[in-house]
Structure 1
Amino acid sequence: MSLLEKYPTVQDVLSPENKQYMIQLIKENSHKSYSYAEAKYEKLLQAAEKSIEVCIVNLSSAVLIQTTASVIFSLQEALKAINDEIKRLSLLDERFHKEIVLLQSIPGVGEYTACVVLSELGDVSNFSKPKELVAFFGLDPGVSQSGTYNRKNNKISKRGSPHVRLILHMLAKSNVYPNRNREYLNPVMRAYFEKKIAEKPYKIVMCAIMRKMVQIIFAVLRNQKPFELRTPEEHQKLIRENSKLAA
């Protein structure tokens, strides 16, 4: 984006005078090596050379690109200010801050995700079981109703905040797909995904993953303990052991 703001036209990219400035700009914004920036510049140069024949030099287009880039930078600064304010406010409430830290123990949950989820659900003690929180977020099955006839369908009810559902969907994806290092944040959830995707449509499986993430969120907040990655077998074993101790 910094390149577009400073060098908005193909002619700017092709100009030999701008080469070193562009490489340095790529290096600074990518936070990578000079050789990486140089390789990126060469790719950009090749793309510019291919497009020069069909490119129409238009001053208004260059101004529009620069203006758009400036607006994006302004929005990014505003977003950073908002995130900083969210962080500052979260520190004012000791319990809220503690629960943010707890939620961040869940794979894929960052500070922003934790803040949004906590802001929406409030006090977890208002929910006696995970199913209630699932319904609160609108991930429970919807019901088709006509007179005295009720029928559950495959569509979720979509009650509650759509923003939380979007975040939960992103969280679910981060738990079942590999990250940049081609590693799985949650191998147990990935195994569950692979099992279910062989049997059911993608959307239904992802909704199931989202519900599982809500169940994990509920357990972490209810128990006030960080998330621990366990296989289903390990989880059942722990339940049996706790039942014996309680008896």
Structure 2
Amino acid sequence: MENLKDVLTDIFGKNGREILSGICSGKNVNQIIQNLSPNVRKKSAQIRELLDKEISQSAVIRLNICLKLIKDFDDSIEHLEKEIFNYAYGNHKQEMEILMSVPGIGELGAATLIAEIGNFKDFASGDKLASWLGLVPNVYQSADKYHNGRITKRGPKGARWILTQIAQAAARTRNSKLKEFFNRKKKSIGHAKAIIALARKIATIIWHLITNDEMYEDETGYVKGEGQRRKIVETEIFSVDERISIISEIFAIVEKKKPDI
């Protein structure tokens, strides 16, 4: 199975897991291939060649354990995301809608920015916010001249990272002023620095929008499509007894894992 990564971009993606779970459940090659996406089925000859190889019982056992672990992690992430978006829409619905009106910002980006930045009105200006996020350059003096260095990277790494990802997405958005801004900057300072400059610009824009309770508007004709919104479901409430039981189970696991002395 070492060569499966040569056929698939991600062996633990949807198609990869379909193949691996098919092997573990004893499906034949045709059954596995017919459940793959059309693009991957085009590589059926390569996949068939790989699956025709004999796989040891111990390898299948280990593979099955790995797949179960991945599913457990996916289920846990889905549960946490549900709680995060329940809270975000329940307590910051207007901020979520405003942020998601900006090119490049989706639900995850909006929720992350709200969590990392908190109250946008704590900052006197968009430039102050950008400075706090560490998206402004260091300025140093040499003789009588001032020079701009690399960005300061102060402030929360999570917010700076998500803004960089948002800038990458905004730079690819058609018919938007943000893309035009990126393309202008790219010609003079290169791709990497232009992305940081765009992230800084987006930081100042979202500060203005949220503090003024406005939606993003773009005179170039850009209109953001309606993305699918998550359904807000009722949060699971644990009773006092259930919480005590969970904590007791954690302590029992910790005690069991303690080495003998």
TM-score under structure 2 length normalisation: 0.67
Q: Output the aligned Cα RMSD.
A: 3.0
> In the alignment, is the contact (CA less than 8 A) between 2:134 and 2:152 conserved in 1?
yes
Deviation at 1:185, TM superposition (A): 4.5
SS of alignment partner, residue 7 of structure 1: helix
Deviation at 1:135, TM superposition (A): 1.0
For the pair 1:189 / 2:200, whether they are aligned, the reply is no
> Where does 1:6-45 land on structure 2 (aligned, <5 Å)?
6-8=21-23, 15=28, 18-20=29-31, 22-23=33-34, 25-26=35-36, 36=38, 40-43=40-43, 45=44
Deviation at 1:40, TM superposition (A): 3.1
> In the alignment, is the contact (CA less than 8 A) between 1:174 and 1:185 conserved in 2?
no
For the pair 1:117 / 2:113, whether they are aligned, the reply is yes
Deviation at 1:171, TM superposition (A): 0.5
Deviation at 1:230, TM superposition (A): 3.0
CA distance 1:151–1:61, change in 2 (3 Å): farther
CA distance 1:108–1:135, change in 2 (3 Å): same
Cα distance in 2 for residues equivalent to 1:108 and 1:117: 13
Report the counterpart of residue 59 of structure 1 in structure 2: 57
- Unaligned runs of 5+ residues in structure 1 are 31-35, 178-183, 232-247
Report the counterpart of residue 137 of structure 1 in structure 2: 133
Deviation at 1:117, TM superposition (A): 0.7
Query: What letter corresponds to residue 173 of structure 1 in structure 2?
Result: Q
**Sequence identity (%):** 22
Query: What letter corresponds to residue 160 of structure 2 in structure 1?
Result: R
For the pair 1:161 / 2:156, whether they are aligned, the reply is yes
Report the counterpart of residue 100 of structure 1 in structure 2: 96
TM-score under structure 1 length normalisation: 0.70
* Selected match of 1:89 from 67, 87, 90: 87
CA distance 1:91–1:193, change in 2 (3 Å): closer
Report the counterpart of residue 75 of structure 1 in structure 2: 73
Cα distance in 2 for residues equivalent to 1:132 and 1:225: 19
Cα distance in 1 for residues equivalent to 2:31 and 2:51: 21
| Corresponding residue pairs, total | 203
Cα distance in 2 for residues equivalent to 1:144 and 1:203: 21
CA distance 1:204–1:42, change in 2 (3 Å): closer
For the pair 1:214 / 2:203, whether they are aligned, the reply is yes
SS of alignment partner, residue 142 of structure 1: strand
Cα distance in 1 for residues equivalent to 2:84 and 2:48: 45
Deviation at 1:106, TM superposition (A): 1.0
The CA deviation string for residues 177-224 of structure 1, in whole angstroms up to 9 with x for no partner, is 2xxxxxx35532222222221211322111101111111111110110
Deviation at 1:144, TM superposition (A): 6.0
- Unaligned runs of 5+ residues in structure 2 are 1-15, 221-261
Cα distance in 1 for residues equivalent to 2:164 and 2:19: 32
> In the alignment, is the contact (CA less than 8 A) between 1:143 and 1:151 conserved in 2?
yes
